[in-house]
Structure 1
Amino acid sequence: MDILIRQELPADYDSTEEMVKAAFSNEEYSNKKEHFLVKRLRNSDAFIPELSLVALNPAKEVVGHILLSKIKILDGEKAADSLALAPVSVRPGYQGKGIGSQLIRTALNKAKEAGNHSVIVLGHKDYYPKFGFKPASLWNIHAPFEVPDEVFMALELTENALENTAGEVQYSKAFSE
């Protein structure tokens, strides 16, 4: 499928939110509010415009979106910067065609190019490992809430980036509002 991936622009915001809402409308493990999360993250200090990407079809319609935002991994007084991958969305009818994978790979490459060292994701245990994600518990990194170990994962964008990192992930307030 011929898809263009580029940075999301303010002119895309409404169509992105509508697409995110549609993407999660039939998802079993969704609160159906991911589009509100995207909006809150854009208005937070965790937002990195260069890491908010859209996928456009040949008609230039938004059919996919991914957002990486700033988080911290806290261990007592020690804090390490990282990124959260959330959410990634693909419009129904376009799902299962590799658009989500293209968005993830592009976002991870852009994050690495921008000098980021790691990414955390809460996601499907059989999907994210194909991008290199491993259980975050391997680095003694854990979520600030109860979650099965196999769905809370981390990825080192640079070799051994998490070697001396451990602790609890601190998400932006936008995630809990």
Structure 2
Amino acid sequence: MIRCENLLDASAIYNIHTQAFERENEAQLVKSIRHSERYIPQLSLVAEVDNTVVGHILFSYIDLVGEETLRILGLAPLAVVPQFQGEGIGSALIRIGLETADTMGESLVIVLGHPQFYSRFGFQPSVNYDIESPFPVPEDVFMVKPLANYQEKYQGKVVYPPAFQEV
């Protein structure tokens, strides 16, 4: 079952990210975003198996700076506890998150991740859309997914909020 996170899920979400990444950086990122104006409650989703939260995905607002500064979505982080990885839980979280973002009228999602995985959901290298990564990373790992509300004006350089500096 996939649903929006609630107040009772905070410690489980922290543990999921700590276990999946074997460090606390991503768990702290979720905590920081949750307490910022960039947080979107409808796009912080958890996956449950037998009433236990085993996965989490967070989409939050980031900026795209070009001729104007536009608000877009960043997908980060995504985690599933190790014993449930490889069962499609992460994929389900992504699909439902993207569908929700689309119905909310969002226009574009950015992710830094494995191209072989994220391309299955329609993500493409950001350079194909004249969108620049703020990090020196290979072109194929910084990706975008246009949603139904996408327009050509979405070009420029991605700027992440301060919460991302510690990841």
**Cα separation, 2, equivalents of 1:162 and 1:133:** 16
Q: Structure 1 residue 56 and structure 2 residue 48: aligned?
A: yes
**Cα separation, 2, equivalents of 1:146 and 1:101:** 27
Q: Structure 1 residue 16 and structure 2 residue 3: aligned?
A: no
Q: What is the Cα deviation at residue 137 of structure 1?
A: 0.4
Q: What is the Cα deviation at residue 16 of structure 1?
A: 0.9
Aligned residues of 1:139 and 1:162 also touching (Cα < 8 A): no
Hey, what does 1:28 align to over in structure 2?
A: none
- Runs of 5+ in structure 1 lacking a partner? 26-30
Hey, what does 2:116 align to over in structure 1?
A: 126
Q: What is the Cα deviation at residue 162 of structure 1?
A: 4.4
Aligned residues of 1:23 and 1:91 also touching (Cα < 8 A): yes
- One-letter amino acid matched to 1:172: P
Relative to its length, the structure with more helix (as a share) is: 2
Report SS of the residue matched to 2:154.
coil
Aligned residues of 2:47 and 2:56 also touching (Cα < 8 A): yes
Q: What is the root-mean-square deviation of aligned Cα atoms in Å?
A: 1.2
Query: TM-score, length-normalised on structure 2?
Result: 0.95
Report SS of the residue matched to 2:59.
strand
Hey, what does 2:37 align to over in structure 1?
A: 45
Hey, what does 1:172 align to over in structure 2?
A: 161
Q: How does 1:81-120 map to 2 (within 5 A)?
A: 81-120=71-110
Aligned residues of 1:52 and 1:67 also touching (Cα < 8 A): yes
Q: Structure 1 residue 35 and structure 2 residue 32: aligned?
A: no
Which of the numbers 59, 62, 75 marks the counterpart of 1:71?
A: 62
Hey, what does 2:144 align to over in structure 1?
A: 154
Which of the numbers 157, 160, 163 marks the counterpart of 2:152?
A: 163
**Cα separation, 2, equivalents of 1:5 and 1:172:** 27
Report SS of the residue matched to 2:85.
coil
**Cα separation, 2, equivalents of 1:11 and 1:128:** 30
Percent same amino acid at aligned positions? 44
Query: TM-score, length-normalised on structure 1?
Result: 0.90
Q: What is the Cα deviation at residue 32 of structure 1?
A: 4.7
